[in-house]
Amino acid sequence: MQSFTELELIEPLQRALRAENYTVPTPIQAGAIPHLLAGRDLLGCAQTGTGKTAAFALPMLQRLSATGPDGRRPGAGPRRMRSLVLTPTRELAIQIGDSFRAYGRHLGLRQAVIFGGVGQKPQVEALARGLDILIATPGRLLDLMAQGHLLLDRIEIFVLDEADRMLDMGFIHDIRKVIAALPTRRQSLFFSATMPPDIARLAAGILKDPVEIAVTPVASTAERIEQRVLFVEPAQKRALLAQILKDQAIDRALVFTRTKHGANRVAESLARGRIAAEAIHGNKSQSARQRALENFRSGRTRVLVATDIAARGIDIDGISHVINYELPNVPESYVHRIGRTARAGAAGIAISFCDAEERAYLRDIEKLIRQRVPVVADHPFATGDGSVRAGAEEGGIATPRPAPQPRGSGRRGRARPPRR
Ligand code: AMP
């Protein structure tokens, strides 16, 4: 197995990685870092959870520190940014900023994160000095550009993160505007979890002779996760959820609903049943979202209820269970959702509720992941036809099925290799 010391990363980065306890690069890191250090463009097909943030952040930090912070262009005016990471959501922007800060802690480069929904003054002040690394969501970035607070004409490295999500969220025109403001001579990195034709076309317009790296194709993410589906009437879903969450095997559950209102209603009904739950979605104020995330991260709330958009990219380790209160109509979203558990090699359980109208979604999902999702037929609110497809369930709904070989004792949900 390759270690980070075999990659040509400078000592201050190696030191930071040791502090983070990273020893072995993930496949996207091992594949991308040497090419990125050499200045190549990259087309990365990878979702969050694969370590893609470090895959682009480490070589960026190294290249920027080789010429910076100011050495490359003494006398250049302020407000000029040397690199830009464009990402769809505030949560992702903040997490990427945290990663750059952690990996770059010994380098002294200047960075800032800008996103909408909060006052712009501190962001404008951060930009005023010019930055080595700017991490931004598209709307606020264009806003501040229009107000003359920054220029992108000296960008040396540009990263477009979660491109498929950007398009889903309707950012295509914003992306084009940002790209038009970049210099043609630059290094460009493009990441997307999926690569449908419109995304591939967008990438082709941004990248020059890119190295292409694809990791964990959608189907294989699903293989690490224990999945099960429970057939249930819509009116019984709340009661079923409350029942399942009584199981203390659930350390930290992320519950998905299709709509924002649904997320609120589910969180409220759980709270009434004295299950500590909070909803997170785009309607809430930034501080409310951050607080909800922090409570979840620290374990104060055991259950976070989210929509696909709100949860996308949330980087929280130790989510033991993902519960699909409603199945998504886009099958890829199912894979994104269940991928929130089972991070960094840990095991995870994904439980999906499926009512009669969602059967078609389930079929699409099973086609995509090329697996049958086992049915739990005997639960208190079963619709009665679950037995049509016999389930392989043993034990509780929320507990892992007995593994074929002994597991590490005590540590629930962590698939540790047996010692010996
Ligand atoms: P990402 O796909 O960038 O969202 O990263 C997923 C998670 O894996 C984050 O919590 C990272 O801190 C963690 N991570 C990334 N690279 C490594 C590595 N080489 N070793 C251990 N953890 C890592």
Per-residue model confidence as pLDDT tens digits over 98-135: 999 999 999 999 999 999 999 999 999 999 988 999 99
Q: How far apart are CA 306 and CA 92, in angstroms?
A: 15
The top-scoring range by mean pLDDT among 102-116, 161-175, 346-360 is 102-116
Q: Decide: 267 and 323 in contact? Cβ < 8 Å.
A: no
Does the pLDDT at position 291 exceed 60? yes
pLDDT given for residue 339 in this prediction? 83
From 231-235, 302-306, 382-386, 396-400, the region with the lowest mean pLDDT: 382-386
The separation between CA 358 and the C-alpha centre of its own chain, rounded to angstroms, equals 25
The protein residue whose alpha carbon is closest to atom 16 in ligand 1 is 51
Query: What is the rounded CA–CA span in Å between residue 333 and residue 349?
Result: 16
Provide the pLDDT for residue 162.
Answer: 93
The CA 344 to ligand 1 mean position distance, Å, reads 7
Centre of ligand 1 to C-alpha 341, Å, is: 13
CATH of 225-388, one of 3.30.1360.10, 3.40.50.300, 2.40.50.140, 1.10.760.10: 3.40.50.300
The domain segmentation of the chain, as residue ranges, is 4-214, 225-388
pLDDT at 420: 31
Question: Residue 385 above 70 pLDDT?
Answer: no
Query: Whole-number mean pLDDT of the chain?
Result: 85
Angle at CA 126, nearest 5°, toward 121 and 131?
A: 150
Neighbouring CB atoms inside 10 A of 99's CB total 19
pLDDT digits (tens, 9 = 90+) for 212-268: 998 865 446 667 789 999 999 999 999 999 999 998 889 899 999 998 889 999 999
Stronger pLDDT, 38 or 384, i.e. the higher one:
38
* Confidence (pLDDT) at 384: 62
Q: How many angstroms separate the alpha carbon of residue 235 from the centre of ligand 1?
A: 39
Q: Is the beta carbon of 228 within 6 A of some atom in ligand 1?
A: no
User: Model's pTM, two decimal places?
Assistant: 0.61
Indicate which residue's Cα is closest to atom 13 of ligand 1.
51
Residue 15 CB neighbours (<10 A): 13
Cβ atoms < 10 Å from Cβ of 326: 22
Identify the architecture of domain 4-214 in CATH: 3-Layer(aba) Sandwich (3.40)
In CATH terms, are 4-214 and 225-388 the same topology?
A: yes
Residue-level pLDDT at 407: 36
